Amino acid sequence: MVQAVRIQKDLEALNEFTATPGQGTTRLSYSAEAAKARPFIKEIMVKAGLTVREDALGNIFGRLSTPEIDHKPIVLVGSHYDSVPNGGMFDGPAGIMAGLEVARLFQDQGLVPQYPLEIVAMVEEEGTSFNSGLLASRALCGFLTYEDLQKLQDQNGLSAAEHITNAGYHPEEVEKLAYPPKALKAFLELHIEQGPILENLKKDVGIVDVIVGISQLQVVIQGKAGHAGTTPMGMRSDALLSASRVIATAEKIAIEAGEYCVATVGRLNVYPNGSNVIPDKVTFTVDIRSKFKDKLDAMIAAVKASVHAEANSGITVSEHLTLYVEPTELSTVIVNNFREQSNRLGILEEPMVSGAGHDAMIFAKVTDVGLIFVPSKDGISHHPAEWTDYDEIAKGVEVLFETVKVLTEAKGKSND
């Protein structure tokens, strides 16, 4: 049986690796905390009977296989171990520990998979460090180049490639990390809902059939600095004023686009950021999402147009898309299996659309994907108060385990 207490123990132990004890989980990719988390993740993978390897980006894999099945396509289960600053302890790690509990159940019950089972703990899903998320899944699916890693930068201009190198890994090998075509049989992820729906409906698990399309636009507006007291209003090139018009327009664009359409400016840097200096440069991100591809594309185009509308003799603008993923329909075979297992186990399921980006949506381009949500208390996420009861995670793991058994065609040792 699934043991909530084992899941709890691992999640609490992993949560010790935070840069902000007492103020939520802060475990940015390639930070000192991430470096400390890795040996722990490897250790619990080994204890779960898995063969561990780590790749050139710091993704960690635990594999259950036998020589007879080693060549067969893999059933991959997992999530990410990075967090946002002052985030919660479940976003990402719940999915890793769910995978590990599945592996332990194989171990407990002496189950032998007929397809390799891999549990994965991935880096940099959140996009906090370099303004671009889903890094690991993009690499594992062949959608990330070394050039991309050289271009992506943190707030101080240090590139992702440099961060990865400084942490002891090998960004130049990123293109070798992709699973070859047909090497995956399926990717399964358990994740907290990060919204209020399951709790409100009193359902145990959400079975996602569509993940919204998601994009991130990076905008730079360059104006001219000047003294706040001595520069007349008519002679200013205030980059922050331009940025604020774009931000207000982005809200309008999303509202007009209608249901399942959202746009958010969550990060903004003002230079030189002095109270008595006219801002000469502003950089910000626009996060744009929709369930519908045509609306997603139209919103991106409209926000870009509003950026370019700010350009004049004193203001120069630039924008580029650092992330673009189309809305994704997940595997109906897996969705149906999740549903069937839930019904059989008496676990209450709810069909859902995912409004958040997940590594699952990248994997959906190359293999069959299933995504299970477990309830988030008060819908809170990316916050220290993020919470899911361990018993609720355990219910999700029960469904996950049954579906993994089906996909790996697991056999009891006595049946050999």
In the bound complex, what is the minimum distance in angstroms from residue 130's beta carbon to Zn ion?
16
Tell me the residue length of the chain: 416
Distance CA 356, CA 190 (A): 13
DSSP bridge partners of 219: 284, 319
Answer yes or no: are the C-beta atoms of 149 and 160 closer than 8 Å. yes
Three-state SS at 254: helix
- Matching residue, tokens 């200013």: 236
Q: Which is nearer to Zn ion, 55 or 91 (CB)?
A: 91
Q: Dihedral of the CA atoms 359, 363, 368, 370 (nearest 10)?
A: 0
Q: Which is nearer to Zn ion, 81 or 106 (CB)?
A: 81
Q: Which residues bind Zn ion (CB under 5 A)?
A: 91-92
In the bound complex, what is the minimum distance in angstroms from residue 125's beta carbon to Zn ion?
5
Q: Which is nearer to Zn ion, 126 or 326 (CB)?
A: 126
Q: Which is nearer to Zn ion, 11 or 303 (CB)?
A: 11
In the bound complex, what is the minimum distance in angstroms from residue 121's beta carbon to Zn ion?
12
Q: Which is nearer to Zn ion, 90 or 401 (CB)?
A: 90
Task: Give the list of residues 6+ apart from residue 75 with CB closer than 8 angstroms, or none.
Answer: 113, 115, 116, 117, 118, 184, 185, 186, 188, 404, 407, 408
Q: Which is nearer to Zn ion, 190 or 278 (CB)?
A: 190
In the bound complex, what is the minimum distance in angstroms from residue 359's beta carbon to Zn ion?
8
In the bound complex, what is the minimum distance in angstroms from residue 16's beta carbon to Zn ion?
19
In the bound complex, what is the minimum distance in angstroms from residue 71's beta carbon to Zn ion?
32
Closest alpha carbon to 177 in 112, 106, 124, 115 = 124
- 162 backbone dihedrals φ, ψ, rounded to 5°: -65, -45
